[in-house]
Structure 1
C-alpha cells in the first residue's frame, strides 16, 4: 500500500473476531491461560497488549522497520533506547537536541556511567572526530530542536556502518510521512508520538522502530523489564490520530510556507530557522517537505513579549505537532534545562521564538504574529 492508505490500513486493520473497523481497546491487565504456559499470545499487559501491539505494528509499517515499540512518553522511549548501552559506552549526540534529551543524558545517564559527546552533526567531520574506541552509537535529530539544523542521514549511516556503530534518529519533527530514516540507513527511529503522530494534543506517548530482529529482542527485554509501556486507551487514540497524519502534515507544511514568506518581510525578525534555508541540499532532499516547525529570532524581548500578548488563535504552551498552533520561548520553556552558556554557544538566544504551525487558516495565524495589530 502507498503511505496514505497505510496510515489507515497498516498494522492490524480492524478486528477479525467482530468485524469492527477499529482495533478494540483491550482494557485488561491479564489474560486467561488454558494451562500453564498455553495462551493466545498474551499473558500480562506489561509484556504485550493487543491494542498496543496493533500500534506497534502500524508504526513499524510506516517507518519501514522490523518491529515497533510503544512507550508511555517520548522520554520513556528515549531512556529505554539509552538503556540498551552499558556504562563506559560512548554515544555521539547532535548538540542542538530537545532539552529533555539533553537533560536525561547529562543528568541521569552520565551518573550511570554512559559517556557522551555533543557535536554539530550537520558536519560529518565533527562526527568522525568525535568517535572514540568505546563509541557505540550516533544519535541525531534532523531537523534539530529548536534551530532546525539538518544532518544528512545517508552520510552519517555510512560513517556508522564503517565504524560498527548504531545510528539512532529522532524523527519527531518530520514523521514517517516526510522522512524515512530507516530507508536512509538508520538502525533505530524514535518519536515523541505526543506530537505529530498523535496530532491532537490529547495524549502522551513515545514510539521506537528498529530494523533488525536482534535489536527488537534487546529493546523488548528492556520494555518488558522496565515497564514504561503505553496503555491501551492511549494506544487506541494514537492509532486514530495516525489515520489523519497525511492530510494534517500537508496542511502544516502549506501553512508553514505561507508564514515563512510573511516572516521574511518583517523588520522585527532578525533570523529565521527553517529547513528551507539550510545549505545542505543533500540533507534537504531526504525530506518530502520542510515540515511545520519554525523558529525565528526577534530584535529584543519587548518585541517577543508583544508577540506573545493577547493571543487567541495561537496558544502559548509547551509541546508541538498538534492541530492548533503553539508558540513557545525555548530558552525559558522547552530548553530551560540546558545551561545558559551552552544555549548561547548553540544559538538558542533569549529572543528566539519557536512556532508549531497548526492547521488553522494561515491568515489568522499571521494576524496574531503581526505586532502592528497589538
Structure 2
C-alpha cells in the first residue's frame, strides 16, 4: 500500500472538516406558498341564452323567428315580453283631475310660465317658470284656535289648503280632486222619430203560431228537431190566448171580449227599453273584461300543446331543444347524428321542425312581404 492511499484513509480530522462546512453553509430558504389557481369549472365559455333564435334573427328569417317564439309561448305561457303602453304626453291622459295644478300653485305665489321644455331623463314636456319677488307669509289666529297662513293667494288653515285663488266674480277657488269627466259631447239618444219608425214597422210574421219548421225537400221529417221545451203552464196560457183571440189570428174589432184601443204614445223619461241596440265592438268588450289570467292561458294551451306534440312527433323534441340554450351541434347529436355531421345537420333539423310547426298550426304563421329583387340588366 502506498503512502498516498494511507493519507486518504486518515479520518482523524473529519469532525473538524464537518464543523467548518456547517458554519459556512447558507441558511435554508423558506418555501413560498404557490399562488391560488382557479378550478377548471370557473372558466366557462360564453354561451348565448337562445342561440337558435339568434341564428334565425341574424339570417333575417322572420317567419321562423315568429313560429319559434310562438312555440316558446305555448310551452311557457306568460313568458313573452309585453311592451308597456305608450306614456307620451299626448296619449297619457290622467284619470283624476286635481286642482290646483303645478302652474296654478306657482302662479298663486307670483311665478309666471315662460315656456316649455323636455326633460332629458324622463322625456316629459314640462313648463318653465320665472320666479318673482319672495312672498312673505301672513299668520292670522282666530278666536276658536284655528290658524290661517296666507302665502300669496294660497290660504292654509291648520295645515290644510282651503283656497288657492278666486274667480273674476270674486268666488273662492277651493282644492278639487275628482274623477275626470269624459271629453267630447255626450252620445245622442234615440229621438222620438226613430222610436216611432220602429214601432210602426210592419211585423215579419202575423203571429208566432203561424211559423213552420224547416223541412227537407226529399223527406217529411224535420231538418231541425225541437230544441225548446216550454215551461210548465206555457201551453195552457197559449190556449187561453187562442180562446180569447189574442194570438193575432183575430182582428181587434172582432175580439169576443170588448176592448178599447188607446192612442199610441211614448212614455217620457228613460223608461223606453225597446228597439234594436247597436252591438258593442269586440275591442271594447275585451278591454272591459281585462287581460286573460295566467291560469286560464295554461288551461287552454295544455290540450292544444299535447295535440301539436302528437302531430309533430320528433319535431317537437327538436323544438323543445331549440327554445333552450342548446347549440345546433348538440341538437344534431341528440337526434342521432354523428359528431362530424352534427354541426351541419343541426340547423337543417331545426328548420324542418319549425316548418312542420308552421304547417300544423295556423297561429304560428306570419305573412312576410317578399321584397322584389333587383335583376341586373
Q: Same fold (TM over 0.5)?
A: no
TM-score (ref. length: structure 1): 0.19
Larger strand proportion of the pair: 1
Please tell me whether Structure 1 or Structure 2 has the larger radius of gyration of its CA atoms.
2
